[in-house]
Structure 1
Amino acid sequence: MKYRTFLTTLVLFLFSFNLGIFIISVASFKDTVHRAEERSLGEHYFITSALIKDFRAVESRGVHIEGSLASLLQPYSYLSGDQKVKLALYKGEQLAYSNRLEMVLPSRFLEPPKDGNRLVAMQKTGGHSYVIVSGKLPAPYDSYTMVYLYDATDAITAWKHMKNVLFFAGFILSCLLALALMLLLNRIFKPLSQISQTSRNIAAGAYETRLPVSGRDELSEMAQSFNHMAYEIQRQMTELIDAADKKQQFIDNFAHELRTPLTAIYGYAEYMQKAALTEDERLSAISYIMSESQRMQTMSYQLLELANLKNDEIGWEAQKVTGLFRSVQQTLHSKITEKDIQIEFICEIDAVWGDACLLQSLFVNLIDNAIKACSTGGHIVVRAAIEAGKKTVYIQDNGKGMSAEILRHITEPFYREEKSRNRRDGGAGLGLAICQQIVLRHRAELAFTSHPGEGTTVKVIFTTS
């Protein structure tokens, strides 16, 4: 495209430029010829007028004009002193007087119009260019024809030199302008070439590639827009890659979680089939099979709940915080009693907006995790208050706490801090993933603060009224 633009622009420029030089040359040539013709007409008129007076003076003295033509025309020889002017006087078609006239004139110059008009023409003969003026003398001398020739060769030669100089200067200027045009087009098309190369790099996977931005013109604005587009592509591709990685990790973790109970179920079933068992051993195997089946059923329910949370709409109603806390306490009463946990509920706000079942499930999961993190006789504080103008629910325990690495992954499905402990407790690492989805569905925020040995604080920040 750059070279097509260059050639098209150059051809148009050269055509226009040379056409302009041609027009100037033609106009200059016409002006040169016109000035030569004006000079020739003027001198022809002057000589003719003076010669009529001389003819009359000669006739008044009774002398014949034919015998005195040489002496009468001699005074006008000074006009041809520079070898540029030639005079000829014809009577009819017979040459009566000639002043160095070597050329043969066309017959039309020997018979000019009789109405007083004069013939003016340019004729080239013997390498010279002449302006020829031919006209009859006024009556009663209209049998005579005065021919005036002006050698305009020098003027024509000067015009040719000027024309050649113009075309040569035009050629040099055209070369310089062609070079300047190429440099200009290279500068203009450089961002397009960079965009093309950058696009190929991005298409090849180098999403971090950017265009250099300089200046504040339209090209810099285009580069900024392209960079913004590249940034959005990189961001979206990163999100897609992360999502794909998380999906693959989810599948891997899910397969791993299924393998353990299935292996145990198959092993105990095979053991029951092939071995001679006592009643107590048979009941123990059946109990283990049922326990693992129950864990698989719980995991399937949790996965279904997680999928539904991502797709279903929730019902928005004002929920009394005290009622939610009371339901959570009743649900977890046995676990609280079993570990002798001291739990304290503090309510400083009246209600929050959301779905009652989902909010209850959210707080049950969070407090249940706090109970698991605490040792026997631990302490948990559940507080609902206003923080920074937003309704916030705090769940603080004095358990073992978590490291920063664990906090980064804690809401990922199937992620477990201690796989053995969670398997013992019957968890599959889906509880906090469900909590995260419940919080997102309520347009709220979930934040964790924890340090090993110092306990954990969970914040549920409601951004809606």
Structure 2
Amino acid sequence: MKLGAKIIVSIMIFFSVIFLFGGYVLISYFYEVTMEREVEGAIEQYQYNKFVVQANLITRGENWFAGAADGQYDISSMASDMNGTVAFLAADGSVLFSGFPSKTEFSGLFADVEQDMVNYRFMKINNRTFLLTMGIVVHGETSVYLITGVDVEKIQEQQAQIIRKFGVVYAMAVGIGIFLIFGISFFITRPIKQLTAATKKIAGGNYGERVTEGGSDEVSQLARNFNRMAQAVDEKVQELSDSARQKEDFVANFAHELKTPLTSIIGYADRIYKKELSREEQKKAALYIWNEGMRLEALSLKLMDLTILNHKEFCLQEVKTDILFQELTADVEYLMDAKGTSLDCTVEPAYIEVEYDLFKTLFLNLLDNAIKAGAKHIQVTGVVEKMAEGTYFTMLVKDDGNGIPKQEIKRITEAFYMVDKSRSRKQHGAGIGLALSDKIAQIHRSRLEFESDGRNGTSVRLCLKCRGD
């Protein structure tokens, strides 16, 4: 059974039980109060009738009922002065007078009747319910049984009518209740149905599926938590997908990077082996083989560096920024002059924790990458900034070379990934420099942030925790 059906059935059972119990209590209470009122009225009638009998006995003498039994007197005239339907019985149980139907049986009614007591009971007479009050009327030596009857069938009919009306009201209430509860159940379970549909879509591979959030109840909190979970799953799946793609690209690019120099080496070696070459041609072929071999060696060393960075722990030491960058710019001065690129470096003094050799490698890779992008001017700045998390030293390397397309920025730190493959290979690049730099930044508890409009220049930002000078 679905949750909505369970809610409807549960509420309707509860509602029905409460409604029926409440109706039973009210109807029973009304019936009891009405009957108590009728009993009180019947007893009052009996007392009045008893007074009439006693008055007649005083007036007509104690033997009047004995004469009535012999047919000497007519009791009906006295009965006409009484309230309700009456009957008189002699002490031996014989009927002296009865206003009730002729076949009415009074035997057994007086078993528990005592003098000065009034008893009552309900009795069916000709399919109608009567309330009978009975007692003993004593005057001198004379005693008779007096029965006063009140027809209470109308109360029974009224009770039955109330029950029928209650049944109609109950049926209407149940019908309206089912309609209302169905609507309420629909609104309560709709978010859960949305969650169920969303889970099916996510299970089917649509990890971007989300549910509508709103309100502050438990279901809304569940929806928010579900969206957070779905977001985390989506990010994890995307991360795994990116990781798988990166591995595939790594293998493909690595194979390609090996294939190009190996093809050249094999070709020149075969030429040397099979043909008679002049000394000059031999030197040219050997030089090409040597260059390609050096390129493969550099590639293997960089891959080894990547592996080491992933598994080795490094000790960071505190250095002063102005001294550090003064040394770094001095070390790259020859490179800048050789490439015809100008370098401006301005940093604010602060103390940062770095692994000197790794940080130097990162700095050189960023400059080398800018030069390979055709930069003629590189601006390096370092400023101390106070943030909510603490004080940070922000290094910004900005060049005027060829920019990086925005769709490529996310992938430029992947191993072997190159924006312009032909230009990179021409300049002996393998696409590992920025991957190394990003790993170094992570070792320094930071990340490289790249900005470029895709046309004019690139900016690289690195934030490191520091303390002021």
Q: TM-score, normalised by structure 2?
A: 0.83
- Please tell me whether the aligned partners of residues 32 and 156 of structure 1 are also in contact (alpha carbons under 8 angstroms): no
Rounded to whole Å, the distance in 2 between the matches of 1:85 and 1:422 is 124
- The answer for the alignment partner of 1:402 in structure 2 is 403
Q: 1:282 to 1:141 in 2, by over 3 A?
A: farther
Post-superposition Cα deviations, 1:180-212, rounded to whole Å, max 9, x if no partner, equal 222211221111111111221222222332223
Asked if 1:183 is matched to 2:186, the reply is no
Q: 1:245 to 1:142 in 2, by over 3 A?
A: farther
> How far is 1:103 from its partner?
3.2
Task: Give the letter for the 1:104 counterpart.
Answer: T
Q: 1:386 to 1:36 in 2, by over 3 A?
A: closer
- The answer for the alignment partner of 2:19 in structure 1 is 17
Asked if 1:132 is matched to 2:135, the reply is no
Moved more, 3-12 or 219-228: 219-228
> How far is 1:273 from its partner?
4.7
**Secondary structure of 1:391's match?**
strand
**Secondary structure of 1:436's match?**
helix
> How far is 1:128 from its partner?
0.9
Q: 1:418 to 1:134 in 2, by over 3 A?
A: closer
Long gaps (5+) in structure 2: 387-391
Percent same amino acid among aligned pairs? 24
Alignment of 1:112-191 (within 5 A): 112-138=112-138, 140-141=140-141, 143-191=143-191
Rounded to whole Å, the distance in 2 between the matches of 1:59 and 1:138 is 12
**Secondary structure of 1:353's match?**
strand
- The answer for the alignment partner of 1:192 in structure 2 is 192
Rounded to whole Å, the distance in 1 between the matches of 2:23 and 2:348 is 93
Asked if 1:422 is matched to 2:419, the reply is no
**Secondary structure of 1:96's match?**
strand
Alignment of 1:304-319 (within 5 A): 304-319=304-319
Among candidates 406, 430, 433, match of residue 431 of structure 1: 433
**Secondary structure of 1:107's match?**
coil
> How far is 1:269 from its partner?
4.0
Moved more, 251-260 or 229-238: 229-238
> How far is 1:331 from its partner?
5.6
> How far is 1:152 from its partner?
1.4
Rounded to whole Å, the distance in 1 between the matches of 2:151 and 2:455 is 119
Rounded to whole Å, the distance in 1 between the matches of 2:347 and 2:179 is 81
Post-superposition Cα deviations, 1:424-444, rounded to whole Å, max 9, x if no partner, equal 443211112212221232234
- The answer for the alignment partner of 1:34 in structure 2 is 36
Rounded to whole Å, the distance in 2 between the matches of 1:451 and 1:7 is 63
- Please tell me whether the aligned partners of residues 381 and 395 of structure 2 are also in contact (alpha carbons under 8 angstroms): yes
Q: 1:51 to 1:365 in 2, by over 3 A?
A: same
Post-superposition Cα deviations, 1:393-414, rounded to whole Å, max 9, x if no partner, equal 455666x433545972543322
Task: Give the letter for the 2:169 counterpart.
Answer: A
CA RMSD of aligned residues (A): 3.5
Q: 1:68 to 1:228 in 2, by over 3 A?
A: same
Q: 1:210 to 1:373 in 2, by over 3 A?
A: closer
Task: Give the letter for the 1:401 counterpart.
Answer: N
Alignment of 1:292-307 (within 5 A): 292-307=292-307
Rounded to whole Å, the distance in 1 between the matches of 2:324 and 2:371 is 18
- The answer for the alignment partner of 1:356 in structure 2 is 356
- The answer for the alignment partner of 1:47 in structure 2 is 49
Moved more, 289-298 or 446-455: 446-455
**Secondary structure of 1:27's match?**
helix
Post-superposition Cα deviations, 1:273-328, rounded to whole Å, max 9, x if no partner, equal 54455666555544433432332222122122223324433312123556655765
Long gaps (5+) in structure 1: none
> How far is 1:129 from its partner?
0.8
- The answer for the alignment partner of 2:231 in structure 1 is 231
Post-superposition Cα deviations, 1:23-58, rounded to whole Å, max 9, x if no partner, equal 333333333333333222221222123312321232
Moved more, 29-38 or 323-332: 323-332
> How far is 1:135 from its partner?
1.7
Rounded to whole Å, the distance in 1 between the matches of 2:169 and 2:138 is 51
Task: Give the letter for the 2:78 counterpart.
Answer: P
Rounded to whole Å, the distance in 1 between the matches of 2:119 and 2:165 is 33
Q: 1:25 to 1:142 in 2, by over 3 A?
A: farther
Q: 1:214 to 1:327 in 2, by over 3 A?
A: closer
- The answer for the alignment partner of 2:383 in structure 1 is 386
> How far is 1:17 from its partner?
1.9
- Please tell me whether the aligned partners of residues 299 and 430 of structure 2 are also in contact (alpha carbons under 8 angstroms): yes
Task: Give the letter for the 1:183 counterpart.
Answer: G
How many residues get paired? 456
Rounded to whole Å, the distance in 2 between the matches of 1:441 and 1:355 is 9
Rounded to whole Å, the distance in 2 between the matches of 1:336 and 1:101 is 135
Rounded to whole Å, the distance in 1 between the matches of 2:105 and 2:297 is 126
Rounded to whole Å, the distance in 2 between the matches of 1:284 and 1:166 is 112
Rounded to whole Å, the distance in 1 between the matches of 2:211 and 2:239 is 22
- Please tell me whether the aligned partners of residues 198 and 209 of structure 1 are also in contact (alpha carbons under 8 angstroms): yes
- The answer for the alignment partner of 2:415 in structure 1 is 413
- Please tell me whether the aligned partners of residues 394 and 459 of structure 1 are also in contact (alpha carbons under 8 angstroms): yes
Task: Give the letter for the 1:426 counterpart.
Answer: H
Rounded to whole Å, the distance in 2 between the matches of 1:169 and 1:428 is 86
Rounded to whole Å, the distance in 1 between the matches of 2:347 and 2:150 is 122
**Secondary structure of 1:297's match?**
helix
Post-superposition Cα deviations, 1:245-285, rounded to whole Å, max 9, x if no partner, equal 33322222122112212223333444455445566655554
Q: 1:130 to 1:217 in 2, by over 3 A?
A: same
Rounded to whole Å, the distance in 2 between the matches of 1:372 and 1:65 is 142
Q: TM-score, normalised by structure 1?
A: 0.83
Q: 1:163 to 1:197 in 2, by over 3 A?
A: same
Rounded to whole Å, the distance in 2 between the matches of 1:325 and 1:391 is 13
Asked if 1:77 is matched to 2:80, the reply is yes
Rounded to whole Å, the distance in 2 between the matches of 1:452 and 1:92 is 127
> How far is 1:147 from its partner?
1.8
Q: 1:352 to 1:28 in 2, by over 3 A?
A: closer
> How far is 1:356 from its partner?
0.9
